[in-house]
Amino acid sequence: MSAADTNTAAPAAEAARLRAEISRYADSYYNSDTSLVSDFEYDALMRRLREIEQTHPELASPDSPTAIVGGEASPAFSQVVHPTPLQSLNDVFSFDEVLAFAAKTEEYAAPESGYVVEPKIDGLSVALYYENGVLTRGATRGDGVTGEDVTANIFTIKSVPRRLNNAPEKIGVRGEVYMPRFVFEEINAEREINGEPPMANPRNAAAGSLRQLDPAVCAARRLDMIIFNIQYIEGIPDGRVFASHAQTLDYLSELGFHTVPYGVVRDGDAITAELERIGESRGEFDFDIDGAVVKINSLAARVELGGTAKAPRWAVAYKYPPEEKETEVLDIIVQVGRTGVLTPKALVRPVRLSGTTVSNATLHNADFISERDIRIGDAVIIRKAGEIIPEVVEVIAEKRPKSAVPYEFPRECPVCGSEVSRDEGGVHIRCRGAECPAQLLRNIVHFASRRAMDIEGLGVAVAKQLLEAGLIASAGDLYFLDTQRLETLERFGKKSAENLLAAIEKSKSRGLAALLYALGIPQIGESAARALAGRFLSMDAVEAADASELIAMPDFGETTAKYLQAWLKNPQSQHLLGRLRAAGVDMTAPAPQTEGKFTGMTFVLTGALSGYTRDEASRLIEERGGKTSSSVSKKTGIVIAGEDAGSKLQKAEALGVRIINETEFEDMLKN
């Protein structure tokens, strides 16, 4: 191997590794709307790859991430070829690089035009196309040349005009679709109530919402859009000609678009001052930013400068470094979420961080505190994670006061005083109180849900009204409501009150299995609830059962038995059950069917069924005398295999167990 080969071997290997890593992150970000790493980490990888390719031009490649824009158009949508490509921007990470850009382009940015500086909105880049003032199409950026047709979803964004004022014959504009911060917080709060995983950040939430196949889902996400560029324009009614980018932004505003805020500056020093101003005021925007954009204002200069296939030479994107500040932990408090999770938070000496005054920081969970040995009185470094939630990065051990002692996590719920315990195999510590006020909204919504007590009309909004009016303090109180008290609620007339009361009354006869599931007992899902009801036939018998009886049940291990017995012994649980008994809620189950078409047969479900949830399929089997199991063995009679069936299917094939699909299962139910 020659010296030259040796000199390029290591960079070539590093470049190959970086391309693979960046491509994986980019695919997840652009095509799955999921961030696997922070923007800062991603930018650092891209920056290093660009350095290698510049130092070793022979390693540059047209399919390198440094030469590619965005992601691929999803086959789930019709594809749109953009008349004018939607390019990316070259990133810079320091004021020195910004000044270098200004020095290189100063002859093109004449004093009378200068530069435009705009916040770089962290959302999904989209182009809108109008003919004779009418919106005809909206498309994502995709790979810059071909995007996804999301017109139906664009129509759900209220700030996007469907018709333009005094419009040109044709115009294509580019902007950023985003989810306002307050909407993001409201949606995540509701997802928590419904037991759904939270959205990671507003950018991914916006991208995922705009790429929904059902426009109604997109509409419910309340997206917004800001326009920042004219892609092309033909036939302006008054024949005006634009000389600068600032003039085009003002014109877009006249047409009715919600446009990006901007400032016009004259030189490099003024650019950096404007970047600092935007950085300091970022907390005042209703959108997240992932930097700021510096553009030459003169449109003629843009044409002269041109660009590469990926990015123009007349603009750069300045990326703000993750800002970190030193502060002091004044106290550690623990909040209880709607699902009972205890979340610690550090109250810190207020500091200015990323444009906002920060007085508290997340500590995530008990393990986070113990692993970093965070104590009250500690000097700590904090930063904003994803520009949203401040977090403690590290403890400055040498500044620790002698009086600081290790923090002890609460053993009782700080809201209701119930015992807390760690989730099996998880990091969360959770309050187990059945009537804990912090969890009450989520518990009521779950109790009333279709697969639980099935109280029609009792969703999140109505549950909030009942709680805020003080009409209920537990699920048991639902059964003591009356028309007179319900009519005091806003938008609750006599008819709606009577309908809700009728649904509550009807739920009394749902039976033991539905009730056990509705109570939200840890580890007791629908399948376990049915198994308990079928084995013990009454709530009294369930309460009287000892651990050995519970563990002897199929697929009912020690952990589930422990959680069930702990819940039943809790005074709050006993109070709730007492209220339900007093209301006449049925706490019994019919004797199990001993004879049926599936008697003596054990089924295992694997993969996803299109027509049934796993619990619904299990219920149908058990109603016909069969049993379900979570694992495949020689005793298994039939495996029902849905889409994406995994290891259970393979094991069934190896053991020679009969395997059927969903259609065959439905035939068995009918015959």
- Please list the alpha-helical segments (H only) found in 256-396: 268-281, 299-305, 366-372
Residue 237 per-residue DSSP state: T
| Nearest CA-CA partner of 82 in 170, 37, 148, 16 | 148
Tokens of 634: 């020689």
- Please list the alpha-helical segments (H only) found in 472-557: 483-486, 494-507, 512-518, 526-536, 539-544, 547-551
- CA distances, 75 to each of 63, 69, 142, 213, 661 (Å): 21, 18, 11, 12, 27
Cα 355 to chain centroid, rounded: 24
Angle between helices 614-623 and 526-536 (to 10 degrees): 20
What DSSP string runs through 282-308? GGGSSS-EEEEEEEESBHHHHHHH-B-
- CA distances, 303 to each of 311, 449, 613 (Å): 13, 60, 58
- CA distances, 278 to each of 267, 291, 323 (Å): 17, 9, 14
Helix (H) or strand (E) holding 409, with range, is none
Q: Which residues pair with 292 in a beta bridge?
A: 119, 318
Helix (H) or strand (E) holding 602, with range, is strand 602-606
Give phi and psi for 594, each to the nearest 5.
-85, -25
Q: Is 597 a catalytic residue?
A: no
Write a three-state SS string for 10-23.
HHHHHHHHHHHHHH
Q: Which residues pair with 138 in a beta bridge?
A: 128
Rounded to whole angstroms, how far apart are CA atoms 293 and 287? 15
Rounded to whole angstroms, how far apart are CA atoms 671 and 669? 6
Give phi and psi for 69, each to the nearest 5.
-100, 130
The DSSP bridge pattern shows strands 124-131 and 134-140 to be antiparallel
- CA distance between the termini of the chain: 74
Spot the catalytic one: 104, 120, 399, 464.
120
Given CA atoms 236, 240, 246, 251 in this order, what sign does their dihedral have?
negative
Question: In angstroms, how far apart are the furthest CA atoms of the chain?
Answer: 92
* CB contact set of 37 (below 8 Å; sequence gap of 6+): 25
Rounded to whole angstroms, how far apart are CA atoms 280 and 354? 6
The DSSP bridge pattern shows strands 389-395 and 420-422 to be unpaired
Say which amino acid occupies 210.
Answer: L
- Any idea which residue has 């393979």 for tokens? 650
Q: Do residues 598 and 619 lie in contact, with contact meaning Cβ atoms separated by under 8 Å?
A: no
Cα 254 to chain centroid, rounded: 35
| Nearest CA-CA partner of 211 in 140, 137, 143 | 140
Q: Decide: helix, strand or coil at residue 617.
A: helix
Rounded to whole angstroms, how far apart are CA atoms 430 and 441? 16
The DSSP bridge pattern shows strands 627-629 and 602-606 to be parallel
- CA distances, 307 to each of 166, 300, 303, 383, 428 (Å): 32, 14, 9, 36, 51
CB atoms within 10 A of CB 532: 26
* Residues identified as active-site: 120
